[in-house]
Structure 1
Amino acid sequence: MISIIIRTKNEERWITSCLRSVFKQDYKDFEVIIVDNDSTDKTLEKAKEFNVKKIVTCKDYLPGKAINLGVAESVGDYLVCLSGHCIPVNDKWLSGFMENFKDKKVAGVYGRQEPMSFTADFDKRDLSIVFGLDKKIQLKDSFFHNANSMIRRDVWEEIPFDEKVTNIEDRVWAKNVLGKGYKIIYEPQASVYHYHGIHQNGNVERCTNVVKIMGSIEDFSGQHLEIENLNIVAVIPIRGPLQYLKEKPLIGYTIEHALKSKYIKKIIVATDDPQIAEAAVELGAEVPFLRDASLSEEHVDIDQVLEHCLNKIESLGIFPDLLVLLEATFPFRPDSLIDNMIKQMVKKGMDSIIAAKRENKSLWKEKEGQIEQIDEGLTPRKFKEPSFIGLKGVGCVTHPEFIREGTLLGHKIGLYEIDNPYSPIEVRSEEDFKLAEKLIGSWQQQIKQKLNTRSV
């Protein structure tokens, strides 16, 4: 048996993809033990959705101590060390390791670590240089890496990991086993995706140029989280009363768009109105709770509403990897918008992405009674840096960790440009409804024509 020891510390963004890939391996005789360093996010709740044998807490964290704690709870003859943010590339990962242990003199094997499409240039460079495509047998070189490795249990019993060193416990161990006459192997077939690298400094411009050259040799573009494996939940916040657009509930247009998504697993309507709740369920959404009426006051912002909704959702045992915010007051969405936003965000490793409209006209703001221009003034349009108007109600995709912190958006934000005049139209006032009723027919006709064109 193989015992897989996964070390974690606030890995909620990665642990689902990590464990999903682990449990897809073609080598099935294994157990999983998680050693967690006091995670404060939803790492452990997500881990418990899988067949994890045991979760061990390591409060006074040192890398060697954490691994030894995990091994002490395990029974396998072979021990895998895996970081919680590393994702096995394919289902041959474990068997790729095991092939090397036919030789009894092999103490340990470490695998390849590949960058993801959104990995920083420094880290792409370092990972590609250190973890190459050629297998190596090491008799003197003590390089070893416990983000992705396998060792023999009997060798660990003879030489456990040093529990006093603050880092490079893997290289200290490798030096000791090589001194006893064992071998270390680098196996590129046992590969994981690792979003950050092993060295994180250097000249930015030079590194970027190096990565461009490497990119012409090796394609990193397809290396990202598998979107189909993510638990993506759409949240539609709406307060009463129930309103209609062209004899159809206004919220129905947004639910319909969400249902067309390939990636959204659940559509949750967060409302304080029983009539809206009933209509939403009939239209195909879920309403597992009615939100507190106090959250419908004019002064309450969307961050507070979403934080409340996320707490309710997670209390039901639902732990989203991504949240999609859709507001019912925006009925004009292209069918492809939601999935395109999700794909762009995941492939580029963004914290959040928001729909936006390009604006080339003059932009002004009032500050302390004074009017200030915030664009580039009278510069000809073709030479202006573009400005964008955010349309979070049309669509916003973000990570739950930011919602828990009381904010909608993270630090690395992407914009998804809306290039049609319909989608930015918000329907709230009586005049808005009159305009929308005139436009909705022509908009739906355009959508049908596009679908027919694609099918021809």
Structure 2
Amino acid sequence: MKCSIIVRCYNEEEHIGRLLTGIMEQTLRDIEIIIVDSGSADATLKIASRFPVRIVSIKPEEFSFGRSLNIGCEKAMGDFIVIASAHVYPIYKDWLEKILEPFVDHEVGLVYGKQRGNETTKYTEHQIFAKWFSEKSNLNQKHPFCNNANAAIRRELWNKIPYDENLTGLEDLDWSKKILSLGYKIAYVSDAEIVHVHNETFRKIYSRYYREALAFKQIFPSEIFRFREFVKFTITNTVTDYYHAWHDNIFFRNLFSIPIFRFMQFWGTYKGFLEHGIITSEVKQTFYYPRKMEKQKESQKSYEDRIIDYKLTKEEYFEKIL
């Protein structure tokens, strides 16, 4: 079998069907889909069971990001493991092919793909996606940044290095750091694109970055995030978000949401890092520094024949599948 797709989920009835529909539209057919559910109380499993998937259930109290992945990987039979968040969906029919392509180089241990938001995504989240996931691929990335919302790994490598089950997040960063130290390559593929639906309240944004900062401390024990860096990154990122919003003609629509988002992001980071040393410059560049103040060139590629057509509205979809 070419690849196993692992989807971690909890109460994802609004999104899981679209992801699985997108997977069914893929040009790569030699796959299996493993759903690792941590106690969903909504229609998530009912929707998922309409598709050719294997469902593995764990108790909510047993969940950690690393543990749920390890459970899925244990069940996987593919040579490669593709990891997707339950609230993402692929844009193109060759998403799986694109994310697996770099593995022709036997030194590549991990591949991750581009993420973009949708029409409900907060403006600052769009800016974060644009900063983290560029339009240009990099098949030999020198730093450990990656993201398990849209990634793939070698099964044989996971056999040697399972995910850390004690981290409160960033299990992907921890794993990529470990394989980099062993001499494996990390590849980023821009064409392996998904939409990541991240509609969080501002309180949840704070909690996410706080939780990830706690994990970051475990991965890089000597590092901290100083108060002056909280101030610096909140201000600089707010200013650059305003710059891009102005040029996108949506400045006033996002006048208040931009600074609130950035405050919660970096306040959560600061509180999580409060007890430890200094963050490395490379990681700061990726996670915290704002986008450049320049307009992005539009791609000249044609994607018409690759696009997946998600025609059904939410109401029509539920009427059809339930």
- Per the shorter chain, which TM-score range? 0.5 to 0.7
Q: TM-score, normalised by structure 1?
A: 0.48
Q: State the partner residue of 2:244.
A: 210
Counterpart-to-counterpart distance in 2, 1:102 and 1:142: 20
What secondary structure does 1:101 align onto? helix
Matched to 2:126, the amino acid is: K
In the alignment, structure 1 residue 170 sits paired with structure 2 residue 172: yes
1:122, distance to aligned residue in structure 2 (A): 1.2
In the alignment, structure 1 residue 70 sits paired with structure 2 residue 67: no
Counterpart-to-counterpart distance in 2, 1:151 and 1:62: 19
Q: State the partner residue of 2:215.
A: none
In the alignment, structure 1 residue 96 sits paired with structure 2 residue 104: no
Counterpart-to-counterpart distance in 2, 1:5 and 1:38: 16
* CA deviations over 1:308-358 (Å, ceiling 9, x no partner): xxxxxxxxxx53xxxxxxxxxxxxxxxxxxxxxxxxxxxxxxxxxxxxxxx
Counterpart-to-counterpart distance in 2, 1:160 and 1:150: 14
Counterpart-to-counterpart distance in 1, 2:42 and 2:126: 27
Q: TM-score, normalised by structure 2?
A: 0.66
1:166, distance to aligned residue in structure 2 (A): 1.1
8 Å Cα contact 2:17-2:48 kept in structure 1: yes
1:113, distance to aligned residue in structure 2 (A): 0.4
Q: State the partner residue of 2:262.
A: none
1:229, distance to aligned residue in structure 2 (A): 3.4
Counterpart-to-counterpart distance in 2, 1:58 and 1:264: 26
What secondary structure does 1:54 align onto? strand
Counterpart-to-counterpart distance in 1, 2:205 and 2:315: 31
1:112 alignment partner, one of 111, 114, 127? 114
CA distance change for structure 1 residues 37 and 54 in 2, over 3 Å: closer, same or farther? closer
In the alignment, structure 1 residue 159 sits paired with structure 2 residue 193: no
Please give the residue correspondences for 1:311-390 in structure 2 after superposition, counting only pairs within 5 Å: 319=322
Counterpart-to-counterpart distance in 2, 1:93 and 1:106: 18
Q: State the partner residue of 2:51.
A: 50
Matched to 1:228, the amino acid is: K
Counterpart-to-counterpart distance in 2, 1:61 and 1:214: 40
* CA deviations over 1:109-131 (Å, ceiling 9, x no partner): 00100111221011011001111
CA distance change for structure 1 residues 58 and 107 in 2, over 3 Å: closer, same or farther? farther
8 Å Cα contact 1:65-1:161 kept in structure 2: yes
Q: State the partner residue of 1:2.
A: 3
Q: State the partner residue of 1:229.
A: 312
CA distance change for structure 1 residues 197 and 105 in 2, over 3 Å: closer, same or farther? farther
8 Å Cα contact 2:89-2:194 kept in structure 1: yes
Counterpart-to-counterpart distance in 1, 2:44 and 2:246: 35
Counterpart-to-counterpart distance in 2, 1:178 and 1:56: 32
Matched to 1:61, the amino acid is: F
Higher helix share: 2
What secondary structure does 2:311 align onto? helix
8 Å Cα contact 2:141-2:188 kept in structure 1: no
Counterpart-to-counterpart distance in 1, 2:81 and 2:318: 36
1:264, distance to aligned residue in structure 2 (A): 9.8
Q: State the partner residue of 2:19.
A: 18
2:149 alignment partner, one of 147, 150, 158? 147
1:53, distance to aligned residue in structure 2 (A): 2.5
Please give the residue correspondences for 1:133-282 in structure 2 after superposition, counting only pairs within 5 Å: 133-196=135-198, 200=205, 202=234, 206=239, 207-213=241-247, 217=296, 228-230=311-313, 232-233=315-316
Identity fraction in percent: 32
* CA deviations over 1:371-402 (Å, ceiling 9, x no partner): xxxxxxxxxxxxxxxxxxxxxxxxxxxxxxxx
Counterpart-to-counterpart distance in 2, 1:2 and 1:29: 7
Counterpart-to-counterpart distance in 2, 1:73 and 1:79: 11
* Greater Rg over alpha carbons, structure: 1
CA distance change for structure 1 residues 41 and 89 in 2, over 3 Å: closer, same or farther? same
CA distance change for structure 1 residues 187 and 11 in 2, over 3 Å: closer, same or farther? same
1:81 alignment partner, one of 83, 97, 119? 83
Q: State the partner residue of 1:445.
A: none
Counterpart-to-counterpart distance in 1, 2:13 and 2:41: 10
Q: State the partner residue of 2:40.
A: 39
Matched to 1:126, the amino acid is: I
8 Å Cα contact 1:139-1:182 kept in structure 2: no
Matched to 1:173, the amino acid is: W
Counterpart-to-counterpart distance in 2, 1:3 and 1:192: 17
1:230, distance to aligned residue in structure 2 (A): 4.2
1:139, distance to aligned residue in structure 2 (A): 4.9
Q: Which runs of 5+ in 1 are unaligned?
A: 220-224, 234-262, 267-317, 320-456
Counterpart-to-counterpart distance in 2, 1:45 and 1:182: 39
1:232, distance to aligned residue in structure 2 (A): 2.6
* CA deviations over 1:59-92 (Å, ceiling 9, x no partner): 3211111101001111011001100001011111
Q: Which runs of 5+ in 2 are unaligned?
A: 207-233, 250-294, 299-307
Matched to 2:26, the amino acid is: Q
Counterpart-to-counterpart distance in 2, 1:96 and 1:137: 12
CA distance change for structure 1 residues 20 and 208 in 2, over 3 Å: closer, same or farther? farther
1:197, distance to aligned residue in structure 2 (A): 8.3
Q: State the partner residue of 1:61.
A: 63
Matched to 1:68, the amino acid is: N
Matched to 1:56, the amino acid is: S
Counterpart-to-counterpart distance in 2, 1:218 and 1:42: 41
8 Å Cα contact 2:114-2:193 kept in structure 1: yes
Count of paired positions: 234
What secondary structure does 1:150 align onto? strand
8 Å Cα contact 2:37-2:55 kept in structure 1: no
Counterpart-to-counterpart distance in 1, 2:296 and 2:126: 13
CA distance change for structure 1 residues 265 and 165 in 2, over 3 Å: closer, same or farther? closer
What secondary structure does 2:36 align onto? strand
1:11, distance to aligned residue in structure 2 (A): 0.9
